């Protein structure tokens, strides 16, 4: 049904990829990054029109000029203005394409228009590549060690106090307290034991990334659209949910009614949006860097680092979980990787190790 | 001094006690924590997205909007940086034809006024919270025969709304005044040119500038515009004589005087006669045949300086400019006379199009007080300004406010005037409202809201039009006005949006009037007789470049920024010349009483080099009673073990009604909070000159471009391996020739980098946190030089080698990095820094005012107690420029990265860029023979270098 129409197609298969060589893959990826947020090829209109067979509907030159400089058209060109009106006055982003890229994208759209339409497996990294990093047992050992030290010192302090060594007892007590403090993970900002890894709090809304990113294969950047232009990836505003859920009120398969119940929460919040008492969805933050560490999504997305490389196999997660430790050692591991060892899809490798890149 | 040390020691003992109790508390909380079980996790954070994201807005992305700075009537163009719906920084708008990208300290700091939790949050009726409906009902039935009192209205739309309002209520009228009045200049032009207006000054065209007490680089009329005009002419060129010549005759040492080539201390009473003598000398040089003015009080002036100045002026006829800040119209008439003789009208100053920043009239204000006395005016609507505080006759006005049928203030703050009014209808902050401004005829700039109003306030335009019975929104009023008179004709929408984007529109002034100087008035001139108190010191009350007239007195940033000359923060003081101080037997910090008539204030004394004898000067803008806790000098943080100090500033405005005051010494002392305690360029012990500031004269510079440079000591071979900078190597060049010391960079740096405010007691202990300071030195001749001092990002940084935990390191781009989360606070680095630019967080300068915290820059860590901090070369801006460039697949261009200090500088004294790019502006500066590094003999290899100061000495 309508849900089916939402399914995205980014490329039309390995066979085609071989035919067209590297360009096809490249523009397939570019389409996914730049266009798929708003357009499909053959799966119906979304934020913008379905692009299937677009070069049969319009002149090729018009399309090329339009996608390179949409701003010039949207205020003056008749066709563009009509389309703008039809699509709720959502203006197309300036994509800053050069001529070759624009032509390549259009070739890709033409090719994809002829291809079969159906769910397409994303090339996913192996499931949870960071599993080996999650809370190593030896770290647990250190925690227990601290706890034991704390207890021991406290006992020692008590004994010393009994015998009148007040000052030494006080020192032992303070050391004991400090050990206890560290045993508990230290100050909030000190994630020395990466205790946030694996954190998967219950959310106010049982949103399933497995369903949306996995089964339905909605591109990450469709919802987290800020990630490619801002430091923050952002949690999508309700309006983005409503793009689909204004029509989709219950999932196709919803044996125990969970889907319908959860979707209703969004729709209800959306309908009450004018009410100041309506506070929206209060998501619980999963990935939270300490305040002295700065991370830029746009730099990493721009470098073709895949979301899953830091966030783990999100498309398999029913409930969002912090897959990676997000510690400095873990960050630096990638930053240090020389080009020879870096994944081929990264634009650049061997990132800077200057402290000020993250700490300022 | 002893007593001060005792104070500090006592303070430290108290601190110790508090630390003791702190430890106890900490132990208890640890115990609780250990008992709490081993499942401790960080508290849960929430992410709450918007319902609907406005188009073009992305979470975490920075947006810039063009608007107009609302901090004073100069109305500079500004860009507001908005992050996630919050304006967090103001910067100059480079497209604005007057301010051209500069913004002063007050403008920069005004973003903090928006988040001031002591603004009015709702309308007031008889001092109590009221609804807007109740207020409107109360006001509307009392509006007949009122006077609208306002500081100069620079917004044409607001003026239009006022005019419509006045038409609706017969018998009502508009009275404009200015706290920093230029009324005498306007009155003088009414007499000499037949039109009461302020000229538009073009300092950029002037080769010779002679100023009498007009602090045009600091606080006079439009300092940013004037600095932008003045500074390009101060660049010496070897090939030809392009440098302008600037003489300053003044009663106190001002920022402008400190930058002058010839500076003559002059009492205000001598100004008339000095101007007359210069005028007569000029008259004989340009063969002026017209009438000549009568003599005034004799003066002790320097005949050589007079003939020299007159000669310079006559040689640059048509390209010179005489300015005066005198409040006496007769004196201003002489200024007009000299400018007219030299043919400067139409060249360096223009009457049509005119300056509109100041239109206030002292006579009108006096007439209003008279009419209130007689009962001819039934009520007062104070549209803007704070006349009870910032007008010398404020107390008289306040009396009528108490008794009038209607006294209404539209102030957004519960200020001195608002608390005396029966009704208060608070206006928005400029960053919350739609408005426009026309500072010089034909230059129209727009203001747009950068945030929805924080409180229940209402735009003045809306209030006025509602009371006039034609309610409309401020935006409709503005658009209507612009459609009709600014952007007439077709295609309004597109041009309106273009204007909004640019922030400013230039419109032609139709048929400029050709106004002629009428010399007949000269014969009838009589200088204003001095109203003096016996025991007489002449009074020079001035607006400091930092606090201005005091409207932003509750702004902690401005309070903590030291005065550029005295380097004293938090409070004003009475300045005396060293000779007068010796005569009176007072030392620095001795509290003196200044009195005249019924007015009397007490201020600590300050001994100022270069100050005119027989004059006492003090800054306006302090001593406010209803500005808020910061102005009253409450401790900035409750948590700090800092004693609450008495309000140290005093209000000068009542005294300005008198031109001379009585001075008595009291027995008390009040130590000033100084950020710099050494003044001389020469070593106080050896008498040898210290080569921090290197200077020369223009003549010497012509002979030898490297003149004035101290002999650098031989630098031995380095023990450290050289650095390899494969990418950029960031560096900064600071031109000492144009740095005026205005302190705009200090405030810009603080706001950009979340630098904490520490309060008066801590500044006194030299614990100020400014990452950038401006050192002020006096040389052997008593001349002044300013030197911005910040982390020099040394190649072989002494701080890096002593840090035991590697918290300060060298980056691959030549920056010296400070990693707060590694720092354990040993302070070795600060001790080993030869430039003394590192700052230690002695306390958690807790940000308790949650509203104010909204102005924090989210790109920068808020530091905690026990860590060292310092200038980072605005590394966040470098990062963001690099990310922008990478997204667009290009290299970072020269000039794309501008640290906050360089961006804000109205004199363009600071250049930042990549030294590895030989075409960059900073690399060219390094190649200039004037460039030198401070303390280069240490071999630390600083990345900041300075350009020798060249003084244009004609004699």
Q: In this model, does residue B124 exceed pLDDT 50?
A: yes
Q: pLDDT band at B636, cuts 50/70/90?
A: very low
**Chain A contact for B137, CB < 8 A?**
no
Q: What rounded mean pLDDT belongs to chain A?
A: 77
| Average pLDDT of the residues in B520-548 | 79
Whether residue B161 lies inside any domain: the answer is: yes
Q: What is the pLDDT of residues B177-186, one digit of tens each?
A: 999 999 999 9
Specify whether B700 is located in the same domain as B829.
yes
How far apart are alpha carbons A140 and A134 in whole angstroms? 11
Specify whether B650 is located in the same domain as B786.
no
A239 Cβ contact list (under 8 Å, min separation 6)? A270, B51, B52, B53
Q: Return the closest-CA partner of residue B610 out of B242, B262, B224.
A: B262
Contact A290 B821 (CB under 8 A): yes
Contact residues on chain B for A350, CB-CB shorter than 8 A: none
Chain centre distance of CA B487 = 33
> What 8-state DSSP symbol labels residue B743?
-
Specify whether B309 is located in the same domain as B227.
yes
Question: Can you give the CATH number for the domain in which B942 is found?
Answer: 3.30.70.20
Q: pLDDT band at A124, cuts 50/70/90?
A: very low
Contact residues on chain B for A180, CB-CB shorter than 8 A: 30, 33-34
Q: Return the closest-CA partner of residue B674 out of B787, B548, B750, B776.
A: B776
Residues 303-332 of A with CB under 8 A from B: 303
How far apart are alpha carbons B566 and B547 in whole angstroms? 14
For testing the chain B interface, which of A143, A158, A184, A328 should be mutated: the one with the most B CBs within 10 Å? A184
Whether residue B74 lies inside any domain: the answer is: no
**Chain A contact for B54, CB < 8 A?**
no
How far apart are alpha carbons B157 and B482 in whole angstroms? 8
Please report the pLDDT score of residue B4 as a whole number. Answer: 41
Question: Can you give the CATH number for the domain in which B269 is found?
Answer: 3.40.228.10
Q: What rounded mean pLDDT belongs to chain B?
A: 87
Domain boundary among B330, B355, B380: B355
8 Å CB contact between B942 and B934 = yes
Contact residues on chain B for A231, CB-CB shorter than 8 A: 60-61
Number of domains comprising chain B: 4
Specify whether B155 is located in the same domain as B190.
no
Contact B38 A359 (CB under 8 A): no
Q: What is the DSSP string of B423-464?
A: EE-PPPPGGGS-EEEEEETTEEEEE--SS--SSS---HHHHH
Contact residues on chain A for B41, CB-CB shorter than 8 A: 185, 195, 199
Q: What is the pLDDT of residues B300-315, one digit of tens each?
A: 777 888 888 999 999 9
Residue in chain A lying closest to B869 (CA): A360
Q: Return the closest-CA partner of residue B540 out of B622, B614, B648.
A: B614
Contact B58 A234 (CB under 8 A): yes
| Kind and range of the H or E run holding B831 | helix B828-832
**Chain B contact for A178, CB < 8 A?**
yes
Specify whether B872 is located in the same domain as B938.
yes
Q: Return the closest-CA partner of residue B940 out of B723, B789, B740, B733.
A: B723
8 Å CB contact between B273 and B297 = yes
**Chain B contact for A270, CB < 8 A?**
yes
B252 Cβ contact list (under 8 Å, min separation 6)? B540, B542, B575, B608, B611, B612, B615, B617
Between A19-28, B349-358, B488-497, B639-648, the lowest mean confidence (pLDDT) is in B639-648
Residues 59-98 of A with CB under 8 A from B: 90-91, 96
Residues 862-881 of B with CB under 8 A from A: 862, 872, 875-876, 879
Specify whether B302 is located in the same domain as B212.
yes
A311 φ/ψ angles, rounded to the nearest 5 degrees: -95, 0
Q: What is the pLDDT of residues B225-259, one digit of tens each?
A: 999 999 999 988 777 778 899 999 999 999 999 99
* Closest CA–CA distance from residue B114 to any residue of chain A (Å): 23
Walk across the sheet containing B406-409 and list its strands.
Answer: B128-129, B124-125, B423-424, B406-409, B379-382, B146-151, B173-177
| Average pLDDT of the residues in B592-596 | 91
Q: What is the pLDDT of residues A318-327, one digit of tens each?
A: 888 888 888 8
Contact residues on chain A for B50, CB-CB shorter than 8 A: 237-238, 280
Q: In this model, does residue A185 exceed pLDDT 90?
A: no
* Closest CA–CA distance from residue B109 to any residue of chain A (Å): 22
Q: In this model, does residue B142 exceed pLDDT 70?
A: yes
Domain parsing of chain A, residue ranges: 2-114, 136-183
Contact B820 A181 (CB under 8 A): no
| Average pLDDT of the residues in A251-280 | 87
Specify whether B662 is located in the same domain as B759.
no
Residue in chain A lying closest to B815 (CA): A356
Q: What is the pLDDT of residues A262-275, one digit of tens each?
A: 999 999 999 998 88
Q: What is the pLDDT of residues B161-176, one digit of tens each?
A: 999 999 998 889 999 9
For testing the chain A interface, which of B25, B39, B50, B495 should be mutated: the one with the most A CBs within 10 Å? B50
Specify whether B863 is located in the same domain as B780.
yes
| Average pLDDT of the residues in B730-758 | 93
Contact B58 A238 (CB under 8 A): no
Contact residues on chain B for A199, CB-CB shorter than 8 A: 41
Percent of chain A clearing pLDDT 70 (strictly above): 79
| 3-class secondary-structure state, position B886 | helix
Specify whether B598 is located in the same domain as B583.
yes
Between A132-136, B140-144, B502-506, the lowest mean confidence (pLDDT) is in A132-136
Whether residue B793 lies inside any domain: the answer is: yes
Question: Can you give the CATH number for the domain in which B432 is found?
Answer: 3.40.50.740
Specify whether B809 is located in the same domain as B857.
yes
Q: pLDDT band at A133, cuts 50/70/90?
A: very low
Question: Can you give the CATH number for the domain in which B547 is found?
Answer: 2.40.40.20
- Using CB atoms, which residue from A225, A280, A353 is nearest to B48? A280
Choice between B861 and B712, residue whose per-residue pLDDT is larger: B861
How far apart are alpha carbons A197 and A191 in whole angstroms? 10
Contact residues on chain A for B872, CB-CB shorter than 8 A: 356, 360
Domain that holds residue B611: 536-674
Specify whether B741 is located in the same domain as B778.
yes
Contact residues on chain B for A359, CB-CB shorter than 8 A: 817, 819-821, 861
Specify whether B842 is located in the same domain as B899.
yes
**Chain B contact for A162, CB < 8 A?**
no
**Chain B contact for A166, CB < 8 A?**
no
Residue in chain B lying closest to A288 (CA): B45
Q: pLDDT band at A161, cuts 50/70/90?
A: confident
Q: Return the closest-CA partner of residue B619 out of B560, B579, B570, B556.
A: B570
| Kind and range of the H or E run holding B931 | strand B931-932
- Using CB atoms, which residue from A299, A354, A355 is nearest to B883? A299
How far apart are alpha carbons B403 and B560 in whole angstroms? 38
The topology (CATH level 3) of A2-114 is: Cytochrome Bc1 Complex; Chain D, domain 2 (1.10.760)
Contact residues on chain B for A177, CB-CB shorter than 8 A: 27, 30-31, 34
Choice between B363 and A142, residue whose per-residue pLDDT is larger: B363
């Amino acid at each position: 049904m309508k849900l089916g129409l939402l399914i995205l197609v980014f490329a039309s298969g390995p066979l085609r990829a071989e035919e067209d060589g590297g360009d096809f893959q490249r523009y397939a990826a570019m389409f996914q990054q730049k266009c798929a947020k708003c357009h499909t090829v053959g799966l119906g209109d979304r934020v913008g029109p379905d692009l299937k067979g677009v070069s049969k509907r319009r002149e090729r030159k018009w399309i090329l000029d339009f996608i390179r400089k949409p701003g010039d058209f949207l205020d003056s060109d008749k066709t563009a203005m009509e389309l703008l009106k039809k699509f709720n006055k959502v203006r197309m982003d300036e994509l800053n394409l050069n001529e070759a890229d624009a032509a390549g994208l259009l070739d890709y759209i033409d090719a994809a228009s002829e291809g079969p339409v159906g769910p397409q497996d994303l090339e996913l990294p192996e499931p949870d590549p960071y599993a080996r990093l999650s809370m190593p047992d030896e770290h647990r050992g250190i925690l227990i060690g601290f706890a034991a030290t704390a207890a021991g010192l406290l006992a020692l302090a008590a004994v010393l106090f009994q015998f009148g060594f007040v000052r030494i007892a006080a020192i032992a007590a303070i050391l004991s307290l400090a050990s206890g403090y560290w045993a508990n993970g230290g100050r909030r900002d000190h994630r020395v034991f990466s205790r946030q890894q694996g954190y998967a709090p219950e959310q106010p809304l049982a949103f399933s990334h497995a369903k949306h990113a996995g089964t339905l294969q909605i591109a990450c950047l469709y919802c987290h659209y800020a990630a490619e232009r801002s430091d923050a990836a952002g949690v999508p505003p309700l309006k983005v949910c409503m793009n689909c859920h204004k029509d989709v009120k219950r999932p196709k398969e919803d044996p125990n009614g969970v889907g319908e119940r959860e979707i209703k929460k969004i729709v209800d919040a959306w309908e009450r949006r004018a009410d100041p008492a309506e506070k929206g969805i209060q998501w619980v933050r999963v990935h939270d860097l300490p305040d002295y560490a700065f991370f830029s999504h746009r730099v990493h997305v721009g470098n073709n680092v895949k979301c899953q490389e830091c966030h783990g196999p999100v498309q398999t997660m029913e409930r969002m979980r912090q897959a990676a430790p997000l510690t400095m050692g873990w960050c630096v591991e990638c930053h240090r990787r020389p080009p020879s060892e870096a994944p081929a899809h990264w634009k650049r490798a061997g990132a800077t190790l200057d402290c000020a890149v993250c700490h300022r | 001094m002893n007593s001060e040390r005792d104070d500090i020691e006592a303070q430290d003992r108290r601190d110790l006690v508090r630390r003791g109790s702190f430890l106890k508390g900490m132990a208890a909380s640890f115990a609780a924590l250990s008992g709490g079980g081993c499942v401790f996790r960080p508290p849960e954070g929430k992410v709450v997205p918007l319902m609907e994201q406005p188009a073009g807005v992305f979470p975490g992305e920075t947006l810039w909007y063009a608007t107009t700075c609302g901090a004073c009537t100069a109305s500079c163009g500004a860009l507001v940086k908005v992050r996630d719906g919050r304006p967090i920084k103001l910067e100059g708008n480079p497209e604005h034809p007057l301010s051209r990208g500069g913004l002063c300290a007050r403008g920069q700091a005004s973003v903090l006024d928006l988040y001031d939790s002591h603004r009015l949050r709702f309308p007031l009726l008889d001092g109590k919270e009221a609804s807007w409906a109740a207020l409107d009902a109360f006001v509307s039935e009392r509006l007949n025969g009122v006077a609208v009192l306002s500081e100069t209205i620079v917004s044409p739309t607001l003026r239009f709304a006022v005019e419509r309002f006045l038409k609706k209520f017969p018998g009502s009228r508009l009275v404009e005044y200015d706290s920093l009045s230029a009324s005498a200049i306007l009155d003088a032009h009414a007499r000499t040119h037949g039109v009461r207006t302020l000229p538009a000054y073009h300092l950029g065209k002037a080769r010779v500038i002679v100023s009498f007490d007009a602090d045009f680089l600091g606080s006079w009329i439009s300092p940013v515009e004037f600095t932008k005009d003045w500074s390009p002419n101060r660049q010496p060129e070897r090939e030809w004589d392009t440098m302008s010549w600037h003489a300053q005759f003044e009663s106190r040492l001002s920022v402008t005087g400190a930058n002058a080539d010839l500076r003559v201390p002059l009492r205000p009473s001598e100004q008339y006669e000095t101007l007359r003598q210069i005028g007569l000398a000029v008259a004989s040089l340009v063969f002026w045949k017209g009438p000549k003015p009568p003599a005034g009080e004799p003066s002790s002036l320097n005949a050589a300086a007079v003939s020299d100045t007159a000669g310079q002026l006559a040689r640059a006829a048509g390209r010179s400019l005489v300015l005066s800040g005198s409040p006496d119209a007769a004196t201003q008439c002489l200024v007009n006379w000299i400018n007219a003789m030299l043919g400067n009208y139409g060249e360096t100053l223009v009457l049509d199009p005119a300056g509109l920043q100041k239109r206030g009239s002292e006579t009108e204000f006096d007439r209003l007080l008279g009419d209130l006395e007689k009962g001819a005016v039934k009520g007062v609507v104070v549209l803007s300004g704070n006349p009870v505080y910032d007008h010398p006759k404020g107390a008289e006005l306040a009396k009528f406010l108490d008794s009038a049928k209607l006294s209404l203030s539209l102030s957004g703050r519960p200020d001195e005037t608002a608390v005396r009014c029966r009704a208060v209808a608070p206006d928005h902050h400029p960053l919350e409202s739609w408005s426009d401004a026309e500072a010089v005829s034909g230059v129209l700039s727009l203001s747009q809201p950068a945030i929805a109003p924080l409180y229940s306030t209402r735009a003045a335009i809306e209030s006025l039009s509602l009371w006039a019975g034609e309610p409309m929104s401020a935006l409709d009023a503005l658009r209507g006005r612009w459609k009709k008179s600014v952007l007439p004709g077709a295609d309004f929408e597109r041009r309106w949006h273009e204007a909004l984007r640019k922030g400013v529109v230039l419109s032609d002034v139709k048929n400029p009037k050709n106004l002629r100087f009428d010399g007949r008035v000269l014969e009838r001139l009589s200088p204003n007789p001095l109203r003096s108190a016996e025991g007489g010191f002449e009074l020079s009350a001035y607006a400091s470049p930092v606090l201005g007239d005091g409207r932003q007195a509750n702004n902690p940033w401005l309070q903590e920024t030291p005065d550029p000359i005295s380097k004293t923060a938090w409070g004003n003081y009475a300045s005396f010349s060293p000779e007068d101080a010796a005569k009176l037997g007072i030392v620095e910090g001795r509290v003196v009483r200044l009195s005249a008539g019924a007015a009397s204030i007490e201020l600590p004394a300050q001994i100022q080099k270069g100050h005119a004898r027989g004059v006492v000067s003090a800054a306006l803008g302090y001593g406010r009673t209803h500005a808020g806790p910061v102005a009253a000098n409450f401790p900035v943080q409750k948590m700090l073990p800092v004693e609450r100090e008495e309000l140290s500033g005093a209000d000068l405005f009542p005294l300005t009604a008198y031109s001379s005051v009585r001075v008595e010494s009291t027995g008390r002392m009040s130590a000033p909070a100084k950020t710099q305690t050494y003044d001389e360029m020469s070593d106080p012990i050896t008498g040898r000159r210290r080569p921090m500031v290197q200077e020369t004269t223009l003549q010497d510079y012509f002979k030898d471009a490297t003149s004035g440079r101290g002999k650098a000591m031989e630098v031995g071979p380095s023990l450290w391996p050289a650095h390899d900078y494969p990418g950029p190597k960031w560096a900064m060049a600071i031109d000492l020739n144009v740095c005026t010391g205005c302190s705009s960079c200090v405030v810009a740096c603080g706001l950009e980098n979340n630098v904490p405010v520490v309060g008066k007691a801590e500044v006194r202990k030299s614990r100020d946190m400014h990452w950038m300071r401006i050192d002020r030195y006096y040389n052997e001749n008593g001349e002044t030089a300013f030197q911005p001092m910040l982390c020099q990002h040394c190649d072989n940084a002494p701080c890096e080698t002593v840090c035991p935990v590697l918290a300060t390191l060298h980056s691959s781009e030549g920056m010296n990095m400070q990693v707060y989360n590694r720092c354990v606070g040993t302070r070795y680095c600060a001790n080993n820094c030869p430039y003394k630019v590192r700052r230690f967080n002695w306390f958690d300068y807790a940000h308790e005012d949650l509203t104010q915290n909204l102005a924090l820059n989210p790109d920068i860590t808020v530091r905690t107690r026990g860590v060292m901090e310092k200038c980072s070369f605005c590394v966040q801006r470098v990062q963001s420029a690099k990310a922008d460039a990478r997204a667009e697949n290009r290299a970072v261009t020269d000039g794309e990265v501008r640290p906050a200090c360089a961006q804000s500088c109205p004199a363009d004294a600071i250049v930042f860029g990549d030294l590895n790019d030989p075409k960059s502006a900073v690399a060219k500066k390094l190649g200039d023979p004037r460039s030198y590094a401070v303390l280069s003999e240490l071999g630390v290899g600083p990345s900041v270098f300075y350009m020798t100061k060249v003084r244009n000495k004609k004699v």
